[in-house]
Amino acid sequence: MAVPADLMDATFSKRGWLSLQPPELRHTIIKNGRSLTFSAGDPVFFTGDEAGGIYGIVSGAIGCEMTTQISGPTLVHIMQTGWWFGEGPMVFGRRRTMTFMALEDATLLLVPLQALRAIASGDAHAASALGQIAEISAVLAIEAGCELLIREARQRISAVLLRVTAALEGVRPADPRGFRITQSQLAEMSNVSRHHTNFALIELQAAGYVGLDYGRVNVLEPQRLAEFVRSA
């Protein structure tokens, strides 16, 4: 079922790349896209797939896996509502270099590569705006690297949790039980053992920072949790 344009406009005006753009460009991007639905566990695309367009998250959560020449595949990030990804072929003109999959039921807006090229060719400002997606992704990657340099495991896990839930940006889980993130996934993204992750989450729950349910984590006090990270 197609998602109404006004709902997508409301979603993408709140956070992410498209929220930084003029309303005219936001409307053009939405007009040229089509909504797709994915069930939890479905791949969006794989490393090595043919070049394609960009995706915006209307609802749900998308996991990102990276494989390097010497390691992986590794779950490195989870993206929430409003975020955009898949800009590699548009910017660099090559095949997909990462794997993305739905970690819960998700609705995405796909803007095909051909439409993006048409938008960029007719408007220099639009071309520049589209290129900003790559910069935003690069900043996110650097932030993730900085978080993994936090020595204390509890603060490192907390920093990763804040990033992958986007709780500091006001994102709230669709399910009242919390974001769909397993302890194994959080451990992998935080570079700690599952045992350490379980112990840290229990402590964070006792402190009132998070709520826990089976396969879910709810960030109850994002500002206080951020202060805890800064205390490292």
Burial state string for 94-122 with b = 16 or more CB within 10 A and e = fewer than 16? eebebbbbbbbbbbbbbbebebbeebbee
pLDDT at 1: 63
Boundaries of domain holding 166? 153-230
Cis before 23? omega within 30: no
Residue 184 amino acid letter: S
Task: Name the domain boundary from 96, 120, 147.
Answer: 147
Q: What confidence score (pLDDT) does residue 103 get?
A: 96
| Rounded-to-integer distance, Cα 189 and Cα 39, Å | 22
CA–CA gap between residue 7 and residue 1 (Å, rounded) = 13
How many independent structural domains does the chain possess?
Answer: 2
Is 133 found in the same domain as 36?
Answer: yes
The region, left, alpha or beta by phi > 0 then psi within -120 to 50, assigned to residue 11 is alpha
Order of strands, edge to edge, in the sheet holding 106-111? 34-38, 106-111, 54-59, 84-85
Which residue type does 162 have? Answer: L
CATH number, domain of 215, equals: 1.10.10.10
Distance CA 163, CA 61 (A): 13
143 and 176 fall within a common domain: no
Statement to judge: residues 14 and 105 lie in one domain: yes
| Residue 54 sits in the same domain as residue 130 | yes
| Helix or strand run (H / E) with residue 70 | none
How far is it, in rounded angstroms, from Cα 210 to Cα 153? 16
Parallel, antiparallel or unpaired: strands 106-111 and 54-59:
antiparallel
pLDDT at residue 72, as a whole number:
84
Residues 130 and 178 grouped into a single domain = no
- Indicate whether 130 and 217 sit together in one domain: no
Residue at which a domain ends, from 116, 147, 178? 147
pLDDT value, residue 102: 98
pLDDT digits (tens), the chain, 232 positions: 678 888 899 999 999 999 999 999 999 999 999 999 999 999 999 999 998 999 999 999 999 999 998 998 999 999 999 999 999 888 888 899 999 999 999 999 999 999 999 999 988 999 999 999 999 999 999 999 999 999 999 999 999 999 999 999 999 999 999 999 999 999 999 999 999 999 999 999 999 999 999 999 999 999 999 999 999 7
Q: What share of the chain is helix, strand, coil (3-state, %, to 5)?
A: 45, 20, 35
Same structural domain, 93 and 194: no
Q: What is the CATH number of the domain that holds 73?
A: 2.60.120.10
Helix (H) or strand (E) holding 173: none
Nearest-angstrom CA–CA distance, 209 and 61? 21
The DSSP output letter for 17 is G
pTM of the complete model? 0.94
- Residue that finishes a domain, picked among 147, 165, 189: 147
